[in-house]
């Protein structure tokens, strides 16, 4: 007979007490060394010890995980600028969950990394690999599951943080979790963040001439421009910046738990996040002969003709901007009979997302524009039953429902900086989708050393939508409901010849359903119209991997994984003409990679962590852009490496972190080879250091310096230079 831990998962509410257990890899609590995936777990203590202001900050040492923009706390970015890839698979194809509910926006598929309240996070499980067999759409690259706290222990905390430099701003939070009596427990928290932001987006202009036969005559002579190139090497001038984008964020949560008995719990929860962001005045670096600032006109820069307009300083403003998310949850986590585990949950996510766009004739603080208002809503229901079948099998099975709804309106503004100055509805779109799912996985203990996992999921995806435009010639398109079925199988094996060594391999298929933006939107920018295609098919992925862990000592682990993913039916833009582009299923690509990780206690006071990933991506076919074939995939670094030293000596603790990311391409043809210029995606190595001191059992002070050596680098936006932050945390 097999050991009980192999085939009978521990109840979910115990996972917070046993950090060696993971729940995401098999949808049941299992020992980390027994699951068929290279799981990385970040626990609440890790988050508390670091300078984490947005959840991506806690994940920067996860192997093969690339984060930039709005995913990181030092950035001003919102979900529109967030980017993430796991093993070379981007965030729209990697599922991000908050307590089991997808965080991907129903319209764009992007993730709002501000939604999880940092103080309320118990653990984050990062599970790479094909996981549609258990989780359905979007899980091509894997699953990142953010698990919030329960009132399984008493915790009261007050946190105040102050930042300087490019991190100028203040954080404050109050957090409580407690048992009211033997059966009732509560969790409540409130957090506030504000940042002054910093200048990180710039105006770059290349010399240009009007179409012949008009003469190419320079205009007003100006000084102050800096000669640079664009990211693809075209000669250009740096002429100004867009100013700062200060923001404020509020997080709140409240949860109530009721234990029916020692093994069953009812719970309900609500959490809310909102961010408001605006923009300060832009800066032109140009001066005329009298020393006055010049921000528009036909100019003479070093004898070359450069055309500059007010629109160059407002085109990419997207301010003011508001985003908010409210999650409601109701669930039961317990037993059915003596040997069955039952989990039932209903969750709703209501999102707001709106921002302003200036018209080409507007100035920085006046003129008409457009308000893009895109509220959307997601509903998720899941009923899961887990039970043993005989002595060697353990089944996980369930039925799930996922619904998305998006209603976008493009509203005409008489004053583009004033969202209330709406004069008309210019256009928009509506999208509805419903996915019904059945899934099952058998965990079979073939021998005492070999465990096999066989699972699959059937998803039936239905979608319908429409779009409209109220221009000179009104247009309305209504698209009938259509249905697509997807079956995602997966086979895995875990072999443990002894307690120190774990070997694993897996093969699986996965998919991503098109977003409503892919299907139904039509947008126009600078004379080019981009249209969705309501007949798009789901993207598909096939992944195999082989790897293992070696634990020669109790607090040492060496991990290695080799993997390959083939992507098909990738959605790309096909240029139909100089003014028209269409989203189509055009691409096929391959991602091959190797991933190494080391955890080692060097002394009783010092711990080492290190990781390295080599990710080789190649476009194999692309009818939308044949020139991209043979090139690397965009927004994916070839190399990612991390190093962390963590020390604890008496009341003192310290941390040193190093993170390296190689060059990233933004263009499908990989023409953007220049680094160190606005809009480039530079290879860079950043070093962060921090130290903390326990003033008492309840009070801890800490100081962190990010980007210690003040490196200058771009990831489209200029990355924060050296920053300093100080924190006081009172826990009782």
CB of 453 closer than 8 Å to CB of 444: yes
CB of 266 closer than 8 Å to CB of 308: no
Rg of the chain over CA atoms, in angstroms?
26
**Rounded to whole angstroms, how far apart are CA atoms 558 and 599?**
6
- Tell me the average pLDDT of the chain: 92
Q: Where are the alpha helices (DSSP H) in 534-686?
A: none
Query: What is each CA distance from 95 to 86, 111, 126, 456, in whole angstroms?
Result: 10, 10, 10, 17
* The predicted structure's pLDDT at residue 12: 36
Distance of CA 33 to the CA centre of its chain: 27
* The predicted structure's pLDDT at residue 6: 39
Which residue, 226, 233, 234, is CA-closest to 202? Answer: 226
Is residue 725 over pLDDT 70?
Answer: yes
Place of tokens 């970015």: 77
Is residue 162 over pLDDT 90?
Answer: yes
CB of 386 closer than 8 Å to CB of 397: yes
**Rounded to whole angstroms, how far apart are CA atoms 101 and 544?**
26
* The predicted structure's pLDDT at residue 608: 97
Is residue 9 over pLDDT 70?
Answer: no
* The predicted structure's pLDDT at residue 444: 98
Place of tokens 């435009």: 469
Note the pLDDT tens digit of each residue in 137-153. 999 999 999 999 999 98
**Rounded to whole angstroms, how far apart are CA atoms 406 and 377?**
7
What is the pLDDT averaged over residues 544-561?
A: 95
**Rounded to whole angstroms, how far apart are CA atoms 333 and 350?**
24
Is residue 14 over pLDDT 50?
Answer: no
Note the pLDDT tens digit of each residue in 214-239. 888 889 999 999 999 999 999 999 99
Is residue 16 over pLDDT 90?
Answer: no
How many CA atoms does the CB half-sphere of 447 hold within 13 Å? 8
pLDDT band at 391, cuts 50/70/90? very high
Lowest mean pLDDT among 488-492, 551-555, 617-621: 551-555
Point out which residues pair with 689 in neighbouring strands: 656, 705
Q: Which domains does the chain have, with CATH numbers?
A: 4-201+242-279+317-731 (2.40.170.20)
Note the pLDDT tens digit of each residue in 514-538. 999 999 998 776 667 888 899 999 9
In this structure, how many other beta carbons lie within 10 angstroms of the beta carbon of residue 447?
A: 11
* The predicted structure's pLDDT at residue 252: 98
Which residue, 265, 241, 236, 239, is CA-closest to 150? Answer: 265
What is the pLDDT averaged over residues 9-13?
A: 36
pLDDT band at 11, cuts 50/70/90? very low
Q: Where are the alpha helices (DSSP H) in 61-196?
A: 132-135
Task: Please state, for a pLDDT cut of 70, what percent of the chain lies above it.
Answer: 96
pLDDT band at 76, cuts 50/70/90? low
Note the pLDDT tens digit of each residue in 192-201. 999 999 999 9
What is the pLDDT averaged over residues 254-275?
A: 96
Joined tokens for residue 102: 């997808």
Give all strands (DSSP E) within 337-375, no chain letters: 340-358, 369-373
Count of residues in the chain: 732
* The predicted structure's pLDDT at residue 5: 36
Which residue, 705, 723, 654, 658, is CA-closest to 684? Answer: 658
Residue 561 has phi, psi (to 5 degrees) of -140, 135
* The predicted structure's pLDDT at residue 106: 87
* The predicted structure's pLDDT at residue 17: 38
Q: Where are the alpha helices (DSSP H) in 388-547?
A: 516-520
What is the pLDDT averaged over residues 389-417?
A: 96
* The predicted structure's pLDDT at residue 121: 95
Query: What is each CA distance from 607 to 20, 118, 649, in whole angstroms?
Result: 17, 24, 12
Note the pLDDT tens digit of each residue in 165-197. 999 999 999 999 999 998 999 999 999 999 999
H/E element, 46: helix 44-49
Whole-structure pTM value: 0.94
**Rounded to whole angstroms, how far apart are CA atoms 392 and 37?**
20
Which residue, 692, 687, 625, 681, is CA-closest to 652? Answer: 692
Q: Which residues contact 37 (CB under 8 A, 6 or more apart)?
A: 25, 127, 128, 129, 142, 492, 504, 506
**Rounded to whole angstroms, how far apart are CA atoms 598 and 414?**
58
**Rounded to whole angstroms, how far apart are CA atoms 76 and 91?**
19
**Rounded to whole angstroms, how far apart are CA atoms 63 and 596?**
7
What is the pLDDT averaged over residues 250-257?
A: 98
* The predicted structure's pLDDT at residue 125: 97
Lowest mean pLDDT among 321-335, 338-352, 354-368, 606-620: 354-368
């Amino acid at each position: 007979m097999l050991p009980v831990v192999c085939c009978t998962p521990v109840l979910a509410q115990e996972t917070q007490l046993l950090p060696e257990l993971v729940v995401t890899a098999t949808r049941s609590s299992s020992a980390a060394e027994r699951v068929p995936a290279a799981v990385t777990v970040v626990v609440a203590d890790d988050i508390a010890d670091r300078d984490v202001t947005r959840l991506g900050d806690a994940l920067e040492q996860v192997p093969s995980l690339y984060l930039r923009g709005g995913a990181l706390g030092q950035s001003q970015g919102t979900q529109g600028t967030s980017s993430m890839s796991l093993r070379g698979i981007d965030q729209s194809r990697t599922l991000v969950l908050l307590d089991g509910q997808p965080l991907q926006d129903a319209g764009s598929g992007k993730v709002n990394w501000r939604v999880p309240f940092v103080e309320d996070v118990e653990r984050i499980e990062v599970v790479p690999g094909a996981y549609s067999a258990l989780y359905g759409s979007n899980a091509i690259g894997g699953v990142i599951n953010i698990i919030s706290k329960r009132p399984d222990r008493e915790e009261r905390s007050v946190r105040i943080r102050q930042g300087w430099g490019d991190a100028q701003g203040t954080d404050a939070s109050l957090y409580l979790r407690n048992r009211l009596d033997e059966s009732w427990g509560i969790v409540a928290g409130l957090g506030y963040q504000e940042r002054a932001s910093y200048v990180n987006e710039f105006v770059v202009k290349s010399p240009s001439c009007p179409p012949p036969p008009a003469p190419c005559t320079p205009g007003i002579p100006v000084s102050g421009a800096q000669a640079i190139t664009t990211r693809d090497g075209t000669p250009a001038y740096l002429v100004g910046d867009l100013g700062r984008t200060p923001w404020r964020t509020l997080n709140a949560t409240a949860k109530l738990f009721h234990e029916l008995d020692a093994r069953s719990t009812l719970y309900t929860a609500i959490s809310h996040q909102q961010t408001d962001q605006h923009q300060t005045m832009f800066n032109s670096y140009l001066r005329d002969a009298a020393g006055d600032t010049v921000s528009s006109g036909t100019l003479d820069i070093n004898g070359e003709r450069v055309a500059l307009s007010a629109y160059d300083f407002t085109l990419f403003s997207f301010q003011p901007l508001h985003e908010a998310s409210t999650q409601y949850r109701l669930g039961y986590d317990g037993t059915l009979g003596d040997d069955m585990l039952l989990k039932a949950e209903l969750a709703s996510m209501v999102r707001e997302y709106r921002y302003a766009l200036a018209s080409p004739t507007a100035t920085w603080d006046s003129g008409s524009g457009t308000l893009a208002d895109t509220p959307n809503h997601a509903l998720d229901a899941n009923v899961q039953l887990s039970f043993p079948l005989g002595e060697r099998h353990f089944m996980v099975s369930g039925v799930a429902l996922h619904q998305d709804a998006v209603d976008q309106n493009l509203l005409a503004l008489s004053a583009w900086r004033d969202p209330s100055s709406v004069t008309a509805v210019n256009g928009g779109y509506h999208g509805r989708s419903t996915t019904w799912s059945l899934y099952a996985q058998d965990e079979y203990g073939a021998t005492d050393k070999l465990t096999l996992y066989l699972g699959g999921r059937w998803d039936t995806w239905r979608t319908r939508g429409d779009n409209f435009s109220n221009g000179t010639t009104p247009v309305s398109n209504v698209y009938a409901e259509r249905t697509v079925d997807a079956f995602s199988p997966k086979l895995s094996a875990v072999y443990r010849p002894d307690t120190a060594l774990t070997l694993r391999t897996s093969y699986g298929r996965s998919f991503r359903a098109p977003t409503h933006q892919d299907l139904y939107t039509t947008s126009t920018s600078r004379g080019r119209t981009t249209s969705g295609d309501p007949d798009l098919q789901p993207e598909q992925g096939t992944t195999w991997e082989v790897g293992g862990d070696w634990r020669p000592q109790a607090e040492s682990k060496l991990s290695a994984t080799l993997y390959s993913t083939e992507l098909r039916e990738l959605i790309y833009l096909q240029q139909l003409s100089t003014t028209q582009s269409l989203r189509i299923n055009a691409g096929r690509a391959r991602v091959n990679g190797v991933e190494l990780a080391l955890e080692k206690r060097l002394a009783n006071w010092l711990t080492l962590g290190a990781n390295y990933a080599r990710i080789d991506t190649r476009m194999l076919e692309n009818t939308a852009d044949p020139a991209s074939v043979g090139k690397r995939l965009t927004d994916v670094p070839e190399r990612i490496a991390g190093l962390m030293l963590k020390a604890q000596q008496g009341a003192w603790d310290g941390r040193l972190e190093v993170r390296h990311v190689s060059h990233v391409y933004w263009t499908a043809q990989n023409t953007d080879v220049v680094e160190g210029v606005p809009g480039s995606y530079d290879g860079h190595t950043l070093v962060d250091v921090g130290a903390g001191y326990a003033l008492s059992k309840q009070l801890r002070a800490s100081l962190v310096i990010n980007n210690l050596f003040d490196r200058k680098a771009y990831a489209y936006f200029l990355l924060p230079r050296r920053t300093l932050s100080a924190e006081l945390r009172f826990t009782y």
